[in-house]
Amino acid sequence: MISSGDYAPPEAQIDWLTGMMRGSAVQEATKTLRDMARLFHDADSLRRMDENTVVYRVQWTEPVAQGTTGGLFWGSTIIEPGRVGDEYFMTHGHFHSRRDRGEYYGTIGGKGLLVLMDESRATRTDAMFPGSLHYITGGLAHRVVNTGDEPLLFGACWPSDAGHDYSSIKAKGFGARVLLRGGGPAVIHA
Ligand code: S6P
Ligand code: ZN
């Protein structure tokens, strides 16, 4: 029920120029190379890097409890530019635990590739650039790769009962990697 009363600022706000969120309802997580140990294919290059290097940061708000039917969450992700050897910085990537739950991604700044994979491991990529809007069909694992020289910023909206399944990605990865080849990014299928 909506009650009338004094104006109260929202508990979460977003700066649309930077994607950054703030407010009492905003949660935050930072992922470093240490958190992503086995996701990059070049273990030797990874060993030579500082494991405290930040790869990406996520800010999000959960206005209802996880698992609630019909609710929506919002999050912003900022992926730093960089590579481990020839492999560009990226998110872990995941399926939704409930495979029929989709998601929107919208790019705020920077450039990259959205990597999408179905259960049979068929993998494709979509270009991400400022203003690009991506509807991620339920059942597709999704990962974002920063192929540019600047931070890649995107917003995401997903159902509160989607859940996250990281296990198969941790075990087998995606069906393709985004690697530096000939001075630019190339999608290399396994
Ligand atoms: C959640 C949504 C994003 C990611 C974030 C980090 O469904 O897809 O908020 O959580 O981009 O990626 P990952 O794969 O580490 O969760
Ligand atoms: Zn997701």
Q: Is residue 2 part of a domain?
A: no
- In the reported structure, the alpha carbon of residue 31 is separated from the centroid of ligand 1 by a whole-number distance in angstroms of 11
CB 98 less than 6 A from any atom of ligand 1: no
Establish whether residue 75 lines the binding site of ligand 1, counting it when its CB lies within 6 angstroms of any ligand atom: yes
Interval between CA 93 and ligand 1 midpoint (Å): 7
Name the nearest CA neighbour of 39 among 123, 164, 144, 121.
144
Q: Which ligand is nearest to the CA of 35?
A: 1
d(CA 46, CA 37): 8
| Cα separations in angstroms, 118 against 11, 16, 64, 121, 175 | 36, 31, 29, 5, 9
pLDDT above 70 covers a percentage of the chain that reads 95
* pLDDT, position 121: 97
Among all bound ligands, the one having the nearest atom to the CA of 141 is 2
pLDDT at 80: 98
Strand arrangement of the beta sheet that strand 176-181 belongs to? 83-84, 87-88, 176-181, 184-189
Enclosing domain of residue 181: 12-189
Is residue 27 one of the residues assigned to a domain? Answer: yes
Report the pLDDT averaged over residues 31-50: 96
Residue 6 has a pLDDT of: 64
57 lines ligand 1 (CB under 6 A): no
pLDDT, tens digit (0-9, with 9 covering 90-100), for 54-95: 999 999 999 999 999 999 999 999 999 999 999 999 999 999
Average pLDDT in the 161-190 region? 96
**Residue 9 scores a pLDDT above 80:** no
The pLDDT value given to residue 7:
66
Residue 95 domain flag: yes
Residue 1 lies in a domain: no
pLDDT at 169 over 70: yes
Residue 3: inside a domain, yes or no? no
Residue 6 lies in a domain: no
Residue 5 pLDDT grade (very low, low, confident, very high; cuts 50, 70, 90):
low
Separation CA 164–CA 68 (nearest Å): 14
Question: Is 50 part of any domain?
Answer: yes
> Which residue lies with its CA nearest to atom 6 of ligand 1?
91
- Is position 5 within any domain? no
1 pLDDT higher than 70: no
Q: How many domains does the chain have?
A: 1
CATH of the domain at 177: 2.60.120.10
Question: Given this model, what pLDDT does residue 37 score?
Answer: 85
- Ligand 1: atom nearest CA of 76 is 9
* Beta-carbon-side half-sphere exposure of residue 14 (alpha carbons within 13 Å): 18
What is the band of 137 on the pLDDT scale with cuts at 50, 70, 90? very high
